[in-house]
Amino acid sequence: MPVSVIPGPAPPLPREARRRHSRAATDISLRLAIGREGVGLELDGPVRLACLQITELYTTFHAIRFPIDVSGGVARFRHRRGRLQRLGIELRARDLERWAAPLLRGLVSAGTPELWTLIEPSKVTVCICAESDADGERPFPVPAVAFDVHALMDEDVVLVVSNARGVNLAAPATAIAIACVGAALGKAADRIGTTFILRRPAGHLARAIFPEGGARAPSVDEIRWAPVTVQDQTWILHATRDMTTSAPSDHAVRAQIIAAMLVEGDDALVEGNLDGARRSYLELLERAPRHGEIVRRIVEIDARVPGREEAALATLAEAAEPGISGADEGVQVDLLRGQLLIRTGALEDAGASFGHAADVEVAPALASRACELAAEAARDPREAIRRLDRAVALAPLATSARWTRMNAQLALGNPQAAIVDVQQLEALARGSRAKHDVALRAGRAWQTAGLHSSARVFFERALRHAPDDPQALAGLGTALAQSGAAARGATLLARALDIAHERGETSASTALELARTLADGLGDLPTAIAHAAAISLDAAEAPIARGLEGRWRAKLGDLQGASLAYSRLCDAAASLSASSGSAIALPHAEEQARSITELLREAATLEREQRGDVRAAQRHLVVALQLRPQDSELRSELLRLGEFVEGSQARTAPSPRGLEDSEEQESESDVLHTARVEELTRQLHADPKSPAVADELASLLELLGRSHELLALLSARLEDSPPESRPALLLRVRATLERMAEGAERKGNAEEAALCRDALAAWVN
């Protein structure tokens, strides 16, 4: 059964809290109404029900003749069932936002999101984004989704969701939009695809009000809704008995027709069956070519699959342009296009697409996010700041653009301009803890920019709000150490480390900074080595910690210990590269990659010049090249080392080609082949069923004489191969075992040769 791709909402509100959240107050007052239409009941004053303001509710009693005794007031008629004649409702944008936001927890952000609405006749535009990110832990940009909700009125009220778009979402925007509307309406509406139907809502409202006012709920037969009017961002709705059905807007009708077409695919999308949804949308696209809404839904799915960027862009290009007959004027695809382009490296086109998205987007928060993405795509830092200026102007209360602009100003060497954003962020922060988080994040940013003296001020401000916070203590200690006060800095770092250990908090970064301060500031290499070696291998700081440990051990003359530490550095760096591709997935990834690469270079120098282990030196350089594949100097260094190996082997008795691993000559091309083997291995881990990658890897392993690895690869492929492929694979397995047996015999390893012969006999049988 497919699993839903919609993130689950946070735990529901407690029953009593939800009752208060959804029901009207209990001080409802009704009064008798006597007029030309007869005797009935009406509201004594406006009533608040959830996010609705009930301004008029009038009923009449059937078959009452005058004169009649009304001295008993409402109580005299409370058991009679009247007929609803008129109902008036006001829905204000701000009331809707305050009421609905708590119901949307967990759909766009973990907590209660920020909700914005724009009310128009027969349509509401909704934007939901993650709450302010003052703690700085969320990815850039923070999640945001916007969509339109069209209304069609009769006895029932039909709401149709359309034109969903967003950034950094956990599921396709359409699925998120459906989930948000469903969470807000709850059991009050039936859902069919993107359509929500409120069955005879006038009856639900009457039943929620009249019993609370001490009277029987009236009949609502033949009550119909009039067209919506809008005044001061307020929907004004009227329902009246025997009213002629009103004609909905053209856009609402169109949205309803499209929603009916897409029901099957949309239902599959909500269930998490993305493949089934895509198939359904493709079938519809054949019947409705270049349909913008269908195209957008297909691309929403493809955009979530790595490697489909070009196909998704080609699909977008087939959509009808706005202005062409039949094109979808309201469908926004610029955000989708920009996110795809930026992944393909087409930064200039991506920036233009994001810029256009910001121009046409009516939701300020989402338009601001588009400007942030445009700034990310900008090659010129000053152009990036101009785009961030626009992002801040569009959403002054959103914090992500201010943080990004602050970092951009620091990168350009404008700390005074950056301070302005920090001051605004502090003003926006609510409560002491939030202000502490702003100061802590600002201090780290100034520290990264090398402005350690200024960073001290921010860390001290953070400690004012939380005196025993280990992160702020560590930041201040590092800033002091970098400013020349190494002893005082080490003291604060040690205190931060102790507090973190007492609280069971992560402390690897603090331990690493303490080790650096001890080594570089105080010259205490043994204690620095102890702190670096204590950092867990699964910590993000592990590669640099092992590299520094190797550097410091080498300075103490412990070459064997240094080699072992450098070997662990190489293992950690190789694992990091394999898990995240050619770039490492850490904060300040480029800086981290550069630091690890330099340590691997040091390791290669030690292995070659001081220990004479050229193969270990080669391995260090190969892993470094995987981290920074565009580093031409590093590539040249690896090639020079390969030439040295080739020359050394030429001056000695060379082994004939075809011998096992330890006997094979390593030419310049072999070094490059080794790097290619590592790259193909990563690709095969990512996609184990890729025959092209497996074939190329097998050929390279055979060329390099790495028979044990080749045998493991071929055996794994045999287990999953179709019957028609097994004969060819079996031949390669037998040939590999033959070479392994012959190689073992040449080296005089009879036991290994016998094992290979036994395995060969088993494969033959």
SS3 content of the chain, % helix, strand, coil (to 5): 60, 10, 30
Q: Which amino acid is at 403?
A: W
Q: How many CB atoms lie within 10 A of CB 512?
A: 23
Task: Tell me the sheet residues that pair with 114.
Answer: 129
In this prediction, residue 652 has a pLDDT band, given cuts at 50, 70 and 90, of very low
Which residue matches tokens 């300020």?
364
Helix (H), strand (E) at residue 481? helix 470-482
The predicted structure's pLDDT at residue 40? 80
Higher per-residue pLDDT: 670 or 15: 670
pLDDT (tens digit, 9 = 90+) per residue, 198-241? Answer: 999 888 888 888 888 778 888 888 888 887 788 888 988 888 88
CA distances, 674 to each of 598, 669, 739 (Å)? 20, 9, 20
pLDDT (tens digit, 9 = 90+) per residue, 463-495? Answer: 999 999 999 999 999 999 999 999 999 999 999
Q: Which amino acid is at 312?
A: A
The predicted structure's pLDDT at residue 666? 44
Contact (Cβ atoms closer than 8 angstroms) between residue 33 and residue 39: yes
Kindly compute the dihedral angle of the four CA atoms of residues 524, 526, 530, 531, in this order, to the nearest 10 degrees: 10
Q: What is the spatial distance between Cα 448 and Cα 303, in angstroms, rounded to a whole number?
A: 33
By three-state DSSP, how is residue 532 classified?
A: helix
Contact (Cβ atoms closer than 8 angstroms) between residue 96 and residue 126: no
Higher per-residue pLDDT: 519 or 684: 519
Q: What is the spatial distance between Cα 550 and Cα 568, in angstroms, rounded to a whole number?
A: 9
Residue 751 pLDDT > 60: yes
Task: Tell me the sheet residues that pair with 488.
Answer: none
What lies within 8 Å, CB to CB, of 693 at 6+ separation is: 680, 683, 684, 687
| Angle (deg, nearest 10), helices 432-448 and 470-482 | 30
Q: What is the spatial distance between Cα 144 and Cα 115, in angstroms, rounded to a whole number?
A: 10
Q: What is the spatial distance between Cα 444 and Cα 446, in angstroms, rounded to a whole number?
A: 5
Contact (Cβ atoms closer than 8 angstroms) between residue 715 and residue 699: no
Pairing of strands 30-35, 38-43: antiparallel
Q: Is it true that the peptide bond before 141 is cis, omega within 30 degrees of 0?
A: yes
Tokens of 273: 């069956």
pLDDT (tens digit, 9 = 90+) per residue, 416-462? Answer: 999 999 999 999 888 899 899 999 999 999 998 889 989 999 999 99
Q: What is the spatial distance between Cα 512 and Cα 225, in angstroms, rounded to a whole number?
A: 68
Q: Where are the beta strands (DSSP E) in 394-474?
A: none
Contact (Cβ atoms closer than 8 angstroms) between residue 127 and residue 365: yes
Identify the weakest region by mean pLDDT among 316-325, 502-511, 549-558, 565-574: 316-325
Tokens of 23: 């029901």
The predicted structure's pLDDT at residue 513? 94
Contact (Cβ atoms closer than 8 angstroms) between residue 547 and residue 565: yes
Give the residue from 171, 45, 150, 62 showing the smallest Cα distance to 107: 171
pLDDT (tens digit, 9 = 90+) per residue, 686-730? Answer: 677 777 677 777 777 776 777 877 777 877 777 777 776 777 777
Residue 585 pLDDT > 70: no
Q: What is the spatial distance between Cα 47 and Cα 409, in angstroms, rounded to a whole number?
A: 52
Helical segments of 157-200, H only: 173-185
- State mean pLDDT over 377-393: 92
Q: Is it true that the peptide bond before 12 is cis, omega within 30 degrees of 0?
A: no
Overall size of the chain counted in residues: 765
Compute the chain's Rg from CA coordinates: 35
What is the value of pTM for the model shown? 0.72
Give the residue from 331, 373, 325, 382 showing the smallest Cα distance to 353: 373
Q: How many CA atoms lie within 13 A of 604 on its CB side?
A: 22
Which residue matches tokens 């609510």?
430
End-to-end CA distance of the chain: 42
Residue 80 pLDDT > 60: yes
Q: Which amino acid is at 391?
A: A
Q: What is the spatial distance between Cα 403 and Cα 385, in angstroms, rounded to a whole number?
A: 11
Tokens of 586: 């850490």
